[in-house]
Amino acid sequence: MTLGPLMLDVAGTELTDDDRHRLAHPLVGGVILFSRNYRDPAQLAALTADIHALKSAPLLIGVDHEGGRVQRFREGFTRLPPMRSFGEIWNEHPPRARELARETGFVLASELRAHGIDFSFAPVLDLDYGASSVIGDRAFHADPHAVFQLGQAVMLGMRDAGMAACGKHFPGHGFVVADSHVAIPVDQRTLADMAIADLVPFRLMIEAGLAAVMPAHVIYPQVDDRPAGFSKVWLQKLLRHQLGFDGAIFSDDLCMEGAAVAGGMVERVAASLDAGCDMALVCNRPDLADEVLANLKVDWPAPARARLARMHGHPHPPTLVQLRESARYVNALHHLAGLGQDSADLNLQVDPTDYCGRA
């Protein structure tokens, strides 16, 4: 049995009969977890074990767990700073910023792996233009080379813990003001403008071995009239062929308003897969997920299945007890102590979780 091309969510802290029936469908290959799916560490470990046991080829389990205001699991997990914190340190001491970013990536990934999570949709590689409220302090910096250096450090820390990274939101969401959760953002810049700015971190991260990418629900009309996640120009011509990316491509949540240009949910999923996404996300709308499962007809190529298989976390992660006895983990926590706590605490009020859309 192989993974299917859909990533769905589940209702609560334990699998319901409806969840089990839905996830057993051959079109389903992954599960995304939200804050509502977390009560405590033991519950989360039990939930992920149940999900992985549903199929002989275990479903992928992903989560938006970046730090700052986008951290789905809080109590019992290390409070991670927003990524802008590392950009601020970079301005004064780049080597220190890289070191702290790598340690953060390790803590982020090792804690998730200890609870059965395969990967996080992180890091954010958008540039901080100071315009986008939905990106904001999730971005490292305005300088594309700083974004690459810090994003690579987080990716390496995640890799140290046995987790693949997923860079988002290709080819760049930071320039537009509109929030693609509730609108259809349009970025009027030319490809040449983007090539010397927003595309730089993605290009360099791909060269450094980035495992996965998530495209933006943004239209760049100077390049294509479709949002990037539905665009063969962006995903196949530019990402696959010109940038040489051979990793997995995950759509952003197709329930978001920015995806509405593609039609109904079945049409959105079909369009995203046809454009070049390997896995399509349908979040927080089980009724629409059921509609897709009942009606989607897709010829899903073997290379897509192989790329997704590489997103599984390394086998046999340490338990939480073993992790807390690890010198690397303890030292990383020591380095991160107090970093960005004020920002993270403020952001507790702005965690965009359980609605029809993702961060």
Q: Which residue intervals of 130-239 are DSSP H helices?
A: 144-160, 191-195, 199-207, 232
Question: Which parts of 41-118 are beta strand (E)?
Answer: 60-63, 65-67, 70-71
Q: Which of 78, 68, 64 is nearest to 33 (CA)?
A: 64
| Given 65, 141, 173, 181, the catalytic residue | 181
Instruction: Please report, as a single letter, which amino acid is at residue 114.
Output: A
Q: What is the spatial distance between Cα 137 and Cα 120, in angstroms, rounded to a whole number? A: 18
CB 231 within 8 A of CB 291: no
Concerning whether 252 is annotated as a catalytic residue, the answer is: yes
Q: What is the spatial distance between Cα 311 and Cα 249, in angstroms, rounded to a whole number? A: 11
Concerning whether 143 is annotated as a catalytic residue, the answer is: no
Please tell me whether 138 is known to bind a ligand.
yes
Angle ∠(322,326,327) on CA atoms, nearest 5: 170
Quote the tokens at residue 45.
């470990």
| Given 252, 253, 278, 312, the catalytic residue | 252
CB 243 within 8 A of CB 205: no
Strands 65-67 and 70-71, sheet pairing: antiparallel
Please tell me whether 168 is known to bind a ligand.
yes
Please tell me whether 64 is known to bind a ligand.
yes
Active site residues: 181, 252
Residues making up the annotated binding site are 64, 72, 138, 168-169
Residues making up the annotated binding site for substrate are 64, 72, 138, 168-169
